[in-house]
Amino acid sequence: MQNRRRFMSNSAAVASAVAFPLVAGAQPKTVKVGVLHPVTGALAYSGQQCRLGAQLAIEDINKAGGIKSLGGAQLEALLGDAQSQPQAGAAEVEKMNEAGVSAIVGAFASAICLATTQAAAKYNLPHVVDVGVADQIVERGLKNTFRFG
């Protein structure tokens, strides 16, 4: 019985000693977030303002220690331009998915949001709509789509 306790105690000590450098040296991962707005075309001014707001929010979150529930993971913005066109917005979602984003925020205009949320739904990629107000955006039953306010 004494040998088993000593074995368990020594095993725990060795496991802790081996694992500690891995835990201590572990860096929080980076979480890629797609920031998608119409920064060119007819809606460029408003889209640029929305993009700036998203970038400032990400900067504030990172300065405050990142995502606490993920061990301080930092956010990394992957910027996209919907070019004030729904089709261009949907194409940007495809690129963002290929780049490995964890979620998308933005799209601004309702017509663009309808296209981008549908494109993101193919991958079950969370999409937070920041401005688009058409009720259809959230009433279609897409499980990946959320809207502010």
Residue 122: CATH number of its domain:
3.40.50.2300
- Contacts for 18 with CB less than 8 Å, ≥ 6 apart: none
Average pLDDT, the chain: 87
Residue 83 belongs to a domain: yes
Residue 109 belongs to a domain: yes
pLDDT band at 5 (very low <50, low <70, confident <90, very high): very low
Q: Which residue has the higher pLDDT, 20 or 145?
A: 145
pLDDT score at 27: 62
CA 83 to chain centroid, in Å, comes to 21
Residue 8 belongs to a domain: no
Domain boundaries, position 33 = 27-147
Residue 125 belongs to a domain: yes
Model confidence pTM above 0.85: no
Residue 1 belongs to a domain: no
pLDDT band at 17 (very low <50, low <70, confident <90, very high): very low
At residue 33, does pLDDT exceed 60? Answer: yes
DSSP-derived secondary structure for 21-34: HHHHHPPPPEEEEE
Burial status of residue 32 (CB atoms within 10 A of its CB: 0-12, 13-18, 19 or more): middle
Total domain count, the chain:
1
- Residue range 81-106, pLDDT digits in tens: 999 999 999 999 999 999 999 999 99
pLDDT score at 2: 55
Residue 99 belongs to a domain: yes
